[in-house]
Chain A
């Protein structure tokens, strides 16, 4: 991968040795049914914007969030990841620099002095074919230096020196979120069809550091075809491998999003989202091991659709309490809350979770496992 190249092309962000052709073909086929492909609507209209609570440098703050309607993630357009439903919110047609800036300016009217600004695109903010360099610059100029931090997301392949150079000084601080998912290239290829290997992440993280940009690593807990026992092993290991390169590590339980390979499995009965117990255990084990190697950053898990069929869940009776402990841990970054959760929430479903992990390697099936 030529990180120093002036322009980043599709071939530069996809490593074909890490593409599973069958899963990619299926993901592509499933995405053919995305409604926006028929009618992307008004291209000067953003998808959504809202204000929410967040944390900045360990203290609570307000965050302004906007989701822009771009042409979409370059990898999703080619097939893409098995669990990602963001392609449902892409225009699937060219969105010009002017249109993107118009979208952002419309959304920005709702800005109320939040300290943190998060810009999501269902793809990569740093992909010049998705968000043109002019649009990147003009959007950051609009935001200006008032907010403490601006966060966006990108495939690691688009994180190159030349991308950051024209953006320098426009805002106070930048944070790039990168979907690391797993440190295991077999998972990245045969479960997620990520399109690139783990090695791209430390490389991209180093470039961010060089430009004073913070790094947020998104990790995936239990992508498809992994058993619960596999998931715990995989995400614990990934926390340890990713932590040294990240300021923030966010462990995301796979939730079942529409028009994805995971959704096809789920609807048949062949996928169960991870147990909340697995998240708690992975965070505890991962944090303990990472701290042993000097990690002092933030490690958290924001559980989307917790307790629901399509999200991480336990038995339904203890979900709220476990999510409560996860939140307490997230806010304090004190891992004793994780240990306390395992100790205090003495729900009978622990026996099922234990059994599920024992059965995983024994029973050649995905259902419930």
Chain B
């Protein structure tokens, strides 16, 4: 049995129970039985040619090499016949284990590491743990786990010991230095070195598991990769590839998201946010004045003192309903006000120096240019500090005003912003019924949020003949006439939670649907993976999803797995269901 307890990136805590009463939690180390050193007492998995029925230990049994195969029984790892050198070979062992043959060889060259690991992970499917033989050391377990490896073996640790290397999370240390820096004054022999390396691996893998459980694996990876240029290179190449990491990355998870390095700019959650803003998001139609504002350390921005000042200025202008507020920031580029409660806009934490790096500046310009290409505003007011203004100036339209002379949240600058808006209203007045405009704007903003969340087509279907009331982050969407609730936003997720009626409105649109066999979900409960037939490819953990049987809505809830896991995994919760419908009850 294989069940995932927690995920972060492609890293996962997966509990593997190859037989009754014997369980291993990934990522974990496989220890080969060799003469150099005894198998440590903490080892949970060994690979051996002489299975001995070790208590509490999973024994993988070697079937030898293809040149010299040996008879074996149990969980047999049989070597493959040689094939074309460019072909990734994935071996299946039992029901829940796959082996990425020669992972160490493939991964030693960054140009082959990326495509081969993606291919091996794909062939293995999420339903099997993936062992990456001859790969990994304490300095890069976090990286390889994050990229999709579940099991490592101790061969690189033992070989390093015979070469006089003590492995640490910062890379290898020569024996003399290790004795001096890590030892207790005694001389280390090769056995002692091997024990050290095994222990270093045990500790680091425990730490990796801890970080997965906390949703902080990426931050650990970014710290660790700086131990070696090749690790940085591999992380960058995977980030550039994007799809592989994005397909498993949760769209919503708690906790702060630390974006501290140059690499953070391209982490999958961040890049996905930017892409969705560029490709899915439809800005609200009503506001015709774009106001660009600085970001704040506090998230969501509106809770920060600086944003309170600036929002008061907007309120005092009397035309806030005409204003589309968009924050300029890194690494997300731009965050429209409607999205400030959405992960990761509500959770990212970035070092602020008052200067954007060149890469950050480019990302900001690209995002802003995409918004301006999609939507023509009658007026653009940039209320950002002078450095940010310099960064965005090349993409601002002609005639854009800059209203911040010093600190944008200062009294003087807030007055300048308010007055500039009043002047716009005087010179170019829009409708007078502020109440009606405010109400319409609320629906407009919710549609924009829905377009980010579900895509533009579903957003239109969801908000057609509907109205909104409440204040972000607690806005309710109701059907005109019947008053039936379609959905609402919540502070925890910042996105729209649907009712069955809301779900029915988007059930016909590809995107966020999970299909089940014909059974009824009971009350507020969980939909288990084993009952799932399949899911739309875009579904990620944290997404709001519609549970369908055929064309019929059977429930609505939050996905706990990515699409690629659903229908493959045989254990674990696929969707936590909020509302359920009986057979024939909810319609389509």
A in complex with B: yes
Point out residues on A near B: beta carbons under 8 Å.
Answer: 20, 22-23, 25-26, 184, 186-187, 190-191, 224-227, 229-230, 233-234, 261, 264-265, 267-271, 315, 348-349, 351-352, 354-356, 358-369
Report the bound CA distance from A355 to B86 in whole Å. 28
Report B115-140 residues with CB < 8 Å from chain A CB.
Answer: 133-135
CB <8 Å contact, B158 and A359: yes
CA separation between A348 and B83, bound complex, in Å? 35
Beyond A230-B65, A367-B108, is A190–B101 a contact (Cβ under 8 Å)?
A: no
Chain B nearest CB from A134 CB (Å) reads 41
A362 and B33 in contact, given A270-B102, A368-B134 (Cβ under 8 angstroms) = yes
Do A269 and B109 touch across chains, with their CB atoms under 8 A apart? yes
B85 within 8 A of A: yes
Query: B163 in the interface, Cβ–Cβ < 8 Å?
Result: yes
B62, B107, B134: which has the most chain A beta carbons within 10 Å? B134
**Binary per-residue interface labels of chain B (158-202) against chain A in the complex, 1 for a CB within 8 Å, 0 otherwise:** 110011100000000000000000000000001000000000000
Return B185 CB to nearest CB of chain A, in Å: 22
Q: Is B393 an interface residue (CB 8 A)?
A: no
Interface of B is mostly: loop
Q: Are B36 and A26 in contact (CB under 8 A)?
A: no
Contact status A364-B68, CB under 8 Å: no
Q: How far is the CB of B101 from chain A (nearest CB, A)?
A: 5
Q: Are B102 and A190 in contact (CB under 8 A)?
A: no
Smallest beta-carbon distance B235→chain A, Å: 18
The residue of chain A having its C-beta at the shortest distance from the C-beta of B87 within the complex is A22
Which single member of B49, B106, B158, B164 contacts A361 (CB below 8 Å)? B49
Most buried by B among A227, A351, A352, A358: A351
CB distance from B203 to the nearest CB of A (A): 22
Cβ contact within 8 Å between A367 and B67? no
Nearest neighbor of A353 in chain B, beta-carbon distance: B162
Q: Mark B74-86, 1 if CB is under 8 A from A, else 0.
A: 0001011111111
Once the chains bind, are A23 and B163 in contact (CB under 8 Å)? no
Additional pairs, 10, CB under 8 Å, beyond known A190-B82, A358-B36, A366-B105: A20-B82, A26-B85, A184-B67, A191-B67, A348-B164, A362-B48, A363-B155, A364-B133, A367-B105, A368-B134
List of A residues within 8 angstroms of B133 by Cβ: 363-365
The answer to whether A264 touches B85 (Cβ under 8 A) is yes
* Interface residue B408 (Cβ < 8 Å from any Cβ of A): no
B65, A229: Cβ atoms under 8 Å? yes
Asked if B153 is at the interface (CB within 8 A of a chain A CB), the reply is yes
Determine the chain B residues whose CB is within 8 A of the CB of A355 once the complex forms: 34, 36, 158-159, 162
Which single residue of chain B is at the shortest CB-CB distance from A191?
Answer: B82
**Chain B: CB-nearest residue to A352:** B162
Candidates B49, B67, B102, B134; contact of A187 at CB < 8 Å: B67
* 26 CB < 8 A contacts A-B: A22-B84, A191-B67, A225-B66, A264-B85, A268-B105, A268-B106, A268-B109, A269-B104, A269-B107, A348-B162, A348-B164, A348-B190, A352-B162, A355-B159, A358-B32, A359-B159, A361-B49, A362-B33, A362-B34, A362-B48, A362-B155, A363-B134, A363-B155, A364-B77, A366-B105, A368-B134
Residues of B within 8 Å of A362, CB to CB, are 32-34, 47-49, 62, 155
Instruction: Return A306 CB to nearest CB of chain B, in Å.
Output: 20
Cβ-defined contact, A356 with B159, below 8 A: yes
Beyond A348-B162, A367-B105, whether A361 also contacts B68 by CB under 8 A is: yes
Cα A315 to Cα B158 with chains together (Å): 16
The answer for the CA separation of A227 and B65 in the assembled complex, in Å, is 8
Whole-angstrom distance between the Cβ of B136 and the nearest chain A Cβ: 11
Residues of B within 8 A of A366 (CB): 102, 105
Query: CA A271 – CA B104 in complex, angstroms?
Result: 11
Residues of B within 8 A of A227 (CB): 65, 67
Docked complex Cα distance between A351 and B189 (Å): 11
**Bound complex: CA A52 to CA B467 (Å):** 95
**CB of B542, distance to nearest CB on chain A (Å):** 36
Return the 3 tightest CB-CB contacts between A and B, nearest first: A269-B108, A270-B105, A365-B134
Q: Which residues of B contact A (CB under 8 A)?
A: 32-36, 47-49, 62, 64-68, 70, 77, 79-86, 91, 99, 101-109, 112, 133-135, 153, 155-156, 158-159, 162-164, 190
Contact of A363 among B32, B112, B162 (CB under 8 A): B32
Tell me the nearest residue of chain B to A182, going by C-beta.
B67
Main secondary structure of the interface of A (DSSP, over half): helix
In whole angstroms, how far apart are the Cα atoms of A261 and B85 in the complex?
A: 7
Q: Which of chain B's residues have a CB closer than 8 A to the CB of A363? A: 32, 47, 133-134, 153, 155
- A233, A355, A368 — most chain B CB neighbours (10 Å): A355
| Least CB separation from A226: chain B residue | B67
Shortest CB-to-CB span from A274 to chain B, Å, is: 14
A270 touches B106 (CB 8 A): yes
Give bound CA distance, A264 to B111, whole Å.
Answer: 13
Chain A residues within an 8 Å CB radius of B79: 364
Interchain nearest-CB distance for B155 vs A (Å): 5
- Provide the bound-state CA to CA distance between A352 and B155, in Å: 11
Query: Smallest distance from the beta carbon of A362 to chain B beta carbons, Å?
Result: 4
CA distance in complex: A36, B532 (Å): 59
How far does the alpha carbon of A225 sit from the alpha carbon of B68 in the complex, in Å?
Answer: 12
Max chain B C-beta neighbours (<10 A), residue from A225, A226, A261, A363: A363
Question: Complex formed: what's the CA distance from A360 to B49 in Å?
Answer: 11
A360 to B34, CA, bound (A): 11
CA distance A224 to B67 in the complex (A): 11
Q: Which residues of A contact B135 (CB under 8 A)?
A: 365
CB A224 to nearest CB in B, in angstroms, measures: 7
Q: A269-B109, A361-B68 are in contact. Are A367 and B104 (CB under 8 A)?
A: yes
* Residues of chain B lying within 8 A (CB to CB) of residue A267: 109
With A269-B109, A364-B77, A368-B104 already in contact, the answer to whether A351 and B190 are too (CB < 8 A) is yes
For B64, the closest partner residue in chain A by CB is A361
How many whole Å from A137's CB to the nearest CB in chain B? 41
Closest to A21 in B: B84
B162 touches A351 (CB 8 A): yes
| Cβ-defined contact, A190 with B81, below 8 A | yes
- With the chains together, A228 CA to B65 CA distance in Å? 11
Closest Cβ–Cβ distance, residue B195 to chain A (whole Å): 14
**Complex CA distance for A26 and B82, rounded to whole angstroms:** 12
Residues on B with beta carbons closer than 8 Å to the beta carbon of A315: 163
Q: What are the residues of chain A within 8 A of B155 when measuring CB–CB?
A: 359, 362-363, 365, 368-369
Complex Cα gap A353–B155 (Å):
13
Interface contact A359-B68, CB-CB below 8 Å = no
Are A367 and B34 in contact, CB atoms less than 8 angstroms apart? no
CB-CB under 8 A from A360, the residues of chain B are: 65
Cα distance A361–B67 in the bound complex, in angstroms? 10
Complex Cα distance, B35 from A260, in Å, reads 36
Give the distance in Å from the alpha carbon of A355 to the alpha carbon of B159 in the complex.
Answer: 7
Q: How close is B496's CB to chain A, nearest CB, in angstroms?
A: 48
Q: How far is the CA of A253 from the CA of B258 in the complex (A)?
A: 52
Q: Which residues of B contact A224 (CB under 8 A)?
A: 82
Q: In the bound complex, how far is the Cα of B33 from the Cα of A355, in angstroms? A: 11
**B65, A351: Cβ atoms closer than 8 Å:** no
Contacts A268-B112, A269-B108, A348-B162 given; does A365 touch B86 at CB 8 Å: no
